[in-house]
Every structure is written in C-alpha cells, then in structure tokens.
C-alpha cells in the first residue's frame, strides 16, 4: 500500500509518542484517557443497468477505524483506516477493494479560535459543490494538505488550505487514484443575519498530473430561511466565474449560477432549483474536479465526464425535490431535467427516490433508486440507466 511521506510522518509521531504513554502522565491522559476510538461498518449492494452496455451488481463492506488523541499542549492527532471488501470489482460501479489510510494528521488548537491541520484530511466546503469528499462512495476523497480555520469573529469562519495531493475514489494501479496538486483554497463564511449566511471563495486549483483540471474559480453564495409559525421558507443563490489555471492548455471563461427556493411545513418539504454550469461557446465548460459530484445533477452519475463534472457544451439542471418524515422514516424524491448550456442539446431526464430509517441509535438502513432516460442520441451519456442501492450502516 502506497502511503505518502507526509502521512507516514504523522503516524510515526503518533506511534513513537504512544510508546511512553504509560510512564508520562500528560501523554497517558492525551493518548489513552482522553482519546476516542470510533468504528463504522457500511454494507452496500449496488445494481447498475445501462441500456445497450451491461448490467452489473456488487456487494461491498467498508470498515472504518478512527482514533483521535486528546489534547497535548494544544496538539492532537487523528488516524483513520478504511478497508473495503468486495464480491468483485465491476467497471460500472465505483467502489473497489482496498485498504488505506483515509485520514492521518496532526492538529493544533491555536490562539484566537484557530485550528490548524497538517496531513491527510477531509475538506468539505459549503455544500461540497466545488470541494468535497464524495462521501457516498465507499472510498472517500481526502486531501494531503495543510489547513487553517479561524472563528475568532462571531458568526464568521475563515478557512485556507494548501493541497499537495488529492486522494481520489479510484483504486491503486488505475492511474487515477491520486492527483498531485499545488492548490490553494480560500473560503470565508459569514452568518450576517438570522436569515442569511454568505460565503465568498477563491479556489485556485493547480493539478500537476492533469493540467486540464487546473482552474481559477471565484464566487459568492447566499443561503437562509425565514420562519413563519410552522412554515419555513428557504432560499439559495450562488454565482461563480471560472477561467483556466496554471498549465491548463485551454484558454476560456465560463460562469456558474444556481437559484433555489423551498418550503417546509411540519414533516413535509418541497424545493425547486435551477443550476447552470456554463460554457464558453462550446470551447470549454465550467468544471468542478474536486466536488462531491454524486450529490449533484442526478444519482445515476451520467455527467461525471471523467471527474470534471461538465463538458464543453455546459449543463443546465432544472430540478424538483420533495422530502417527508414519517414515523422515523426519512423519504426523498427528486426529478431532474437536463439540457446543454450551448448547442440546444437535450441531455435527458432523471427521477429518483430514497428512504432511510435510523434505529437503535447506532444503526440505519436505506434504499435508493434512480432512473435516467430521454437524452439525444450520439453522446456518451445518452444510454438509459437504472441504479439501485441497498445500504446498512452501523456506527460505534
């Protein structure tokens, strides 16, 4: 198993310090008394049926072991190991057999409400539309980075990260499992009013291994809700501008924007959204190579485009979401209509339903189904596709 020198250094520090934990009281307190161990199991069955291509199914079990020390002079350490066992590796299903260090970092709780991390870590910014962890897949996306978060000003969170490597969801030996980066991420989030939270961000992605993923993106996002007795109205609005970054071979400029509104009443809710990943007249599109793509533009993942999340003609997604909670059961239904931003291309429609039931504090079961159809012929995403997931999870 290939492990970066940065992660090895983190774990070596953790191990060497633990050796003396029983003889030195501060160390014993941090590494034993105040430490925490968490275990998670996630069992999943996935079935994929792509018209004119193939039907495949696979069962996977992910075991996650997380250890976090207590504080030692404001320092702490986290080590997290993932193991996935699988009935087989199916090319249409993006879960693979592997054992690896998912997280391994040293943290520092500094003055003025500052938290710094060095090592392999999660980075989840805003709704993960631009930077996320792809948490739905069994192999999570994490980052070898140094990050700093400050919350000294009430209502304001300032975040910066320098990313040296992106550990992607693909298996070792695929050539896609990691991308070397020299990336800078800045996100400032401010809860200005009771009904408004505003984020401003600049994501300067410099992907050494895949220069076409290198982008400079600047944007602003606003979300909030207004409560009227038992009725709650919600909204979101976002705009971003993107151009090529670093050694990207294509010179372009493209926009992103999203508008959404929702209403919630007791245990029921409904939302409507309009999202545009723009195109520079068909030359290049607005891409999101670090996003949690599965959470956007349909669960069948028809528009991954090699991990970019868009193609040169752009993507327009008009969608509707209905939610409900009944006797502890969480229900969700979604409907998407897709078209290109450039070229008047019908990119299809998708509907999906999901149900999740948590029980006995530590356990949950879920079922999710999505069906895509109706795209113009002649494109890589045009085949009708159905996907089904059955999931059981336990956390201790």
For the chain, list the domains and their CATH numbers: 5-395 (2.40.160.10)
Give the tokens for residue 117: 């991390």
Enumerate residues 6+ apart whose C-beta is below 8 A from 297: 275, 303, 309, 315, 317, 336, 338
The per-residue pLDDT string of the chain (396 residues; one tens digit each, 9 = 90 and over) reads 444 555 555 545 555 545 444 456 899 999 999 999 999 999 999 999 999 999 999 999 999 999 999 999 999 999 999 999 999 889 999 999 999 999 999 999 999 999 999 999 999 999 999 999 999 999 999 999 999 999 999 999 999 999 999 999 998 888 899 999 999 999 999 998 889 999 999 999 999 999 999 999 999 999 999 999 889 999 999 999 999 999 999 999 999 999 999 999 989 999 999 999 999 999 999 999 999 999 999 999 999 999 999 999 999 999 999 999 999 999 999 999 999 999 999 999 999 999 999 999 999 999 999 999 999 999 999 999 999 999 999 999
Full-model pTM: 0.93
The CA-based angle 143-105-306, given to 5 degrees, is 10
d(CA 52, CA 38): 44
Q: Are residues 350 and 300 in contact, defined by beta-carbon separation less than 8 angstroms?
A: yes
The CA-based angle 179-143-11, given to 5 degrees, is 115
Q: Are residues 227 and 309 in contact, defined by beta-carbon separation less than 8 angstroms?
A: no
Enumerate residues 6+ apart whose C-beta is below 8 A from 89: 58, 96, 97, 171
Which residue, 3, 274, 294, is CA-closest to 132? Answer: 294
């Amino acid at each position: 198993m290939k492990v970066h020198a940065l992660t090895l250094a983190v774990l070596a520090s953790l191990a060497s310090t633990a050796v003396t934990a029983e003889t030195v009281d501060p160390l014993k307190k941090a590494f034993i008394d105040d430490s925490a161990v968490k275990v998670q199991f996630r069992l999943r069955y996935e079935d994929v049926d792509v018209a004119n291509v193939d039907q495949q199914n696979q069962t996977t079990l992910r075991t996650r072991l997380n250890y976090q020390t207590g504080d030692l002079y404001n320092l702490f350490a986290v080590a997290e190991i993932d193991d996935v066992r699988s009935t087989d590796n199916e090319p249409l299903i993006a879960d693979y057999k592997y054992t690896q260090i998912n997280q391994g970092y040293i943290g520092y709780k500094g003055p003025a409400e500052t938290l710094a991390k060095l090592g392999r870590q999660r980075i989840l910014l805003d709704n993960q539309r631009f930077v996320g962890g792809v948490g739905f897949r069994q192999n999570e996306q994490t980052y070898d980075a140094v990050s700093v978060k400050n919350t000294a000003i009430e209502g304001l969170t300032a975040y910066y990260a320098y990313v040296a490597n992106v550990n992607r969801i693909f298996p070792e030996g695929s050539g896609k499992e990691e991308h070397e980066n020299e990336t800078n991420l800045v996100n400032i989030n401010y809860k200005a009013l009771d009904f408004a939270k505003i984020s401003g961000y600049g994501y300067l992605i410099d992907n050494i291994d895949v220069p076409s993923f290198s982008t400079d993106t600047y944007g602003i996002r606003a979300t909030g809700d207004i409560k009227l007795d038992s009725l709650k109205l919600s909204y979101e609005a976002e705009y971003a501008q993107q151009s090529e970054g670093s050694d990207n071979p294509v010179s372009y400029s493209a926009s992103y924007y999203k508008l959404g509104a929702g209403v919630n009443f007791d245990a029921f809710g409904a939302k409507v959204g309009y999202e545009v990943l723009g195109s520079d007249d068909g030359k290049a599109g607005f891409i999101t190579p670090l996003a949690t793509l599965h959470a956007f533009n349909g669960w069948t993942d028809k528009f991954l485009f090699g991990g970019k999340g868009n193609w040169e003609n752009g993507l327009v997604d008009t969608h509707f979401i209905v939610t409900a909670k009944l006797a502890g059961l969480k229900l969700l239904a979604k409907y998407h209509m897709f078209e290109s931003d450039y070229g008047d291309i019908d990119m299809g429609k998708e509907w999906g339903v999901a149900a999740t039931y948590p029980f006995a504090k530590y356990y949950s079961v879920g079922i999710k189904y999505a069906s895509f159809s109706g795209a113009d012929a002649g494109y890589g995403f045009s085949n009708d596709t159905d996907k089904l997931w059955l999931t059981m999870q336990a956390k201790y």
